[in-house]
Amino acid sequence: MGVAGLYSFYIDKHNPSLRTRNSSIIMIASVTTEKQWKLDLRTDFWTSDNARHLKGNLRYHNFPFFFYGTGDSTHYNDRSLVGNRRFKGQFEAEKRIGRHFFVGPSLLFQHDKFNAKDNKGIYPGMALVDKDGGYVTYIGITGVFDNRDNQNYTTQGSMVRINTSYAPEFLSSYPLWKFELKANQFFTFLRNNTVGLNIYAASVQGNTLPFYQLPELGNDFIMRGYYAGRYRDQNYLAAQAEYRYFLDPKIRIRLWKLDMQPTFALVAFAGTGSVFENHGQDISRFKPNFGGGVRYFYDKSSRLSVRLDYGIGEQRPGEKRQTGFYLSLGEAF
- Along the 333 residues of the chain, how does pLDDT read in single tens digits? 999 888 999 887 776 555 789 899 999 999 999 999 999 999 999 999 899 999 999 999 999 999 999 999 999 999 999 999 999 999 999 999 988 999 999 999 999 999 998 889 999 999 999 999 999 999 999 999 999 998 999 999 999 999 999 999 999 999 999 999 999 999 999 888 999 999 999 999 999 999 999 999 999 999 999 999 999 999 999 999 999 999 866 555 555 555 556 689 999 999 999 999 998 777 888 999 999 999 999 888 788 899 999 999 999 999 999 999 999 988 999
pLDDT computed for residue 216 by the predictor: 96
Residues 6 or more apart from 272 whose CB is under 8 A from it? 238, 239, 240, 286, 287, 288, 289
Distance CA(180)–CA(162), nearest Å, equals: 6
Distance CA(91)–CA(53), nearest Å, equals: 11
Residue 197's identity, in one-letter code, is L
pLDDT computed for residue 259 by the predictor: 52
The full set of domains in the chain, from first to last, is 2-329 (2.40.160.50)
pLDDT computed for residue 257 by the predictor: 54
Residue 119 burial (CB < 10 Å; 0-12/13-18/19+)? exposed
pTM score of the predicted model? 0.90
pLDDT computed for residue 282 by the predictor: 79
